[in-house]
Amino acid sequence: MIEAVCVQGRGVDMDRARRLAEKFGTEVTDKIPDDKHAMYFLFDKTGLSFIAGKQELKGDLSRMLKRVTGGHLAHEIILKAAKQNTEAEQGTLRAVDCTAGLGEDSFLLAAGGYQVELFEHNPVTAALLHDALIRARKNPEMQEIAKRMTLREGDSKELLASLTYEPDLIYLDPMFPEKKKSAETKKKLQVLHKIETPCADENELIQAAIDAKPKKIVIKRPPEGPYLAGMTPTYSVTRKAVRFDCIVFS
């Protein structure tokens, strides 16, 4: 249960804070909960965070800047996996990220020229991602990329069925346990696992993706992990820490 939306300091959009509190059936307050195990939103001039006990989760796409500037973007493995067989002008390719999370992978796809729809079913994660996108669109270094990202909250299978176009790419990243993680990644995953559950209906998800008639489906997996729903990919792009299974439709 989320106890409150805690507003700290000046410069906070109080209308957003009130809408957030209403959505989660809680109150806006300037006091931090006394319970050390409490779960609540913290809203200050730096943006929105979710606090779960001693752990904090925040959407922050600015950390991705170093990966999309200075020639680094060309080395991103996700873009190698997402590459289409046909050339297209930047911004004309359309991708759907069915497991958006905090938007990092979608940010890379958008930086690579895709118009990206981000689907996120968990309302807490969606709220954090929404806040991250608002801040990114105000950042001169990120706004052009962020403008190519559109968030839709809801069940990915239902949202896929509602698409009015056939996407060039559908991206899936079901949560999986990693053997080696940085301390920051460990903390993020610990909080995420408190509010989200790993993909349990992978067969339905992959079928919904196929039914949307994309040109390609890209699935993020651990290097030695099984294929999602047992579906053999057309090919895979693998690095030490991750594997991208690519299913191409003719």
> Do residues 31 and 107 share a domain?
no
Look at the alpha carbons of 124, 130, 135, 140 in this order and tell me if their dihedral is positive or negative: positive
Is the domain of 92 the same as that of 20? no
Q: What is the mean pLDDT of the chain?
A: 91
3-state SS of 211-244? HCCCCEEEEEECCCCCCHHHCCCCEEEECCCCEE
Residues 10 and 68 placed together within one structural domain of the fold: no
Predicted TM-score (pTM) above 0.95:
no
User: Could you tell me if 74 and 12 lie in one domain?
Assistant: no
User: Are residues 90 and 23 located together in one domain of the fold?
Assistant: no
Q: How far is 110 from 144, CA to CA, in rounded Å?
A: 9
Is there a single domain that holds both residue 75 and residue 150? yes
Asked if pLDDT for residue 181 goes beyond 80, the answer is no
Q: 162 with 81, same domain?
A: yes
33 & 115 share domain: no
Residue 73 placed within a domain = yes
Q: Is residue 154 part of a domain?
A: yes
- Does any domain span residue 56? no
Q: Which of 3-12, 36-45, 90-99, 147-156 has the lowest mean pLDDT?
A: 90-99
Closest CA to 118 of 160, 82, 76: 160
Burial class of residue 153, CB neighbours in 10 A (0-12, 13-18, 19+): middle
Residues 224 and 192 both lie in one domain: yes
Answer yes or no: do 92 and 212 share one domain.
yes
Domain membership flag for residue 190: yes
With cut-offs at 50, 70 and 90, classify the pLDDT of residue 189.
low
For 62-114, the pLDDT digits (tens) are: 999 999 999 999 999 999 999 987 666 666 899 999 999 999 999 999 999 99
The answer as to whether 153 is a domain residue is yes
Domain membership flag for residue 202: yes
Based on the domain organization, do 181 and 229 belong to the same domain? yes
Domain at 89, CATH number: 3.40.50.150
What is the number of structural domains in the chain?
Answer: 2
- Considering the domain architecture, whether residues 163 and 197 belong to the same structural domain is answered as yes
Say if 222 falls within a structural domain.
Answer: yes
203-247 confidence digits (pLDDT tens): 999 999 999 999 999 999 999 999 999 999 999 999 999 999 999
In this structure, are residues 219 and 228 in contact, taking their beta carbons and an 8 Å threshold?
Answer: yes
Residue 110 lies in domain: 61-248
Q: Which residues lie below 8 Å from residue 228, measured CB to CB, with a gap of 6+?
A: 172, 174, 202, 206, 219, 221, 245
In tens, the pLDDT along 116-145 reads: 999 999 999 999 999 999 999 999 999 999
Q: What are phi and psi of 3, to 5 degrees?
A: -80, -35
pLDDT at residue 240, as a whole number: 92
Helices 14-23 and 123-138, axial angle in degrees (round to 10): 160
